[in-house]
């Protein structure tokens, strides 16, 4: 098998597993915060082992980077809590579609950070994403769980966007497992004091699901994703990553029996198609700047 084929297999496996994390919002009978804390604690342990196994240092390069890791960990902890909460309030499909507004948020916000203006194409894509999200909303009332779930999902996307932009600017010198070790560790410590269910209160079945989530659906895909990046172009990685809502919705249909409505399918298609278009155009613009 060639390095490219191997990289594609690793990438699709990672995206499939990332999509599968959404199922645990329904499978684990805990609140979103508790799921996040236990997930992060387990993943941090596994990621530390992966870093050691790949002979990378756990220690960061300087004191400033520990402060950045702390900030990134707090942001990612809030992202994951809102991510799971969104799906618990609505459905896996709706929560994932709301979350996947983040690629368009990124292309709208990143130019402002760099001191430039978003172009007209990006603004049109932003409007298309808003239209897609609007199709998911059953009624304009915060008293409706689905509407609230959509808003929380968009908040999760905003937090994820902030994490990605900060990571790219200040923490990109570290490998995926190194970076995620600190972020999951900080998230577990930051939210740990708010846990409602102590480890002793969890049943064996719940622990099995949490270990599955932490090891197979958190640490493993991050390791696969990092490995795939070495053999594939940024465009390929970005486009395949846009399949995450599809994988998540398909798994929810097969394993949970969640059947998305027509509005959810149309809205999701609009959001994901826009995300794919923006990913392709961003890569094209980057290549033109390099040439």
Model confidence over 156-187: pLDDT tens digits?
999 998 998 898 889 888 888 899 999 999 99
Comparing 46-55, 77-86, 93-102, the range with the smallest average pLDDT is: 93-102
pLDDT digits (tens, 9 = 90+) for 28-80: 999 999 999 999 999 999 999 999 998 989 999 999 999 999 999 999 999 99
Closest CA to 44 of 67, 68, 76, 22: 76
Closest CA to 271 of 126, 92, 165, 86: 126
Closest CA to 171 of 182, 161, 160: 182
Whether residue 154 is predicted with pLDDT greater than 90 in this model: the reply is: yes
Most confident of 137-151, 206-220, 275-289: 206-220
279 within 8 A of 235, measured Cβ to Cβ = yes
pLDDT of 235: 60
Structural element, H or E, at residue 237 = helix 234-241
pLDDT of 42: 95
Comparing 60-64, 134-138, 205-209, the range with the smallest average pLDDT is: 134-138
Q: Is 257 left (phi over 0), alpha (psi -120 to 50) or beta?
A: left
């Amino acid at each position: 098998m060639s390095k490219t084929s191997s990289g594609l297999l690793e990438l699709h496996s990672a995206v499939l597993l990332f999509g599968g994390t959404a199922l645990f919002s329904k499978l684990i009978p805990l609140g979103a915060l508790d799921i996040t804390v236990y997930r992060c604690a387990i993943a941090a342990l596994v990621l530390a082992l992966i870093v050691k196994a790949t002979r990378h240092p756990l220690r960061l390069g300087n004191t400033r980077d520990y402060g950045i890791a702390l900030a990134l960990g707090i942001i990612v902890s809030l992202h994951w809590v809102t991510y799971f909460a969104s799906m618990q309030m609505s459905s896996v499909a709706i929560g994932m579609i709301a979350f996947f507004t983040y690629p368009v948020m990124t292309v709208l916000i990143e130019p402002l950070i760099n001191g430039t203006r978003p172009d007209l194409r990006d603004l049109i894509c932003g409007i298309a994403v808003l239209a897609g999200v609007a199709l998911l909303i059953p009624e304009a009332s915060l008293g409706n769980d689905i509407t609230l779930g959509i808003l929380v999902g968009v908040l999760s996307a905003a937090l994820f966007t902030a994490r990605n932009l900060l990571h790219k600017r200040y923490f990109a010198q570290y490998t995926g497992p190194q970076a995620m070790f600190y972020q999951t560790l900080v998230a577990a410590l930051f939210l740990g004091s708010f846990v409602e269910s102590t480890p002793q209160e969890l049943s064996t079945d719940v622990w099995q699901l949490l270990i599955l989530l932490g090891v197979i659906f958190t640490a493993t895909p991050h390791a696969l994703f990092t490995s795939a990046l070495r053999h594939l172009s940024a465009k390929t990685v970005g486009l395949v990553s846009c399949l995450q809502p599809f994988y998540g919705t398909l798994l929810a249909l097969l394993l949970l029996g969640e059947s998305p409505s027509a509005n959810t399918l149309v809205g999701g298609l609009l959001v994901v198609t826009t995300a794919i278009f923006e990913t392709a155009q961003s890569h094209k613009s980057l290549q033109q700047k390099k040439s």
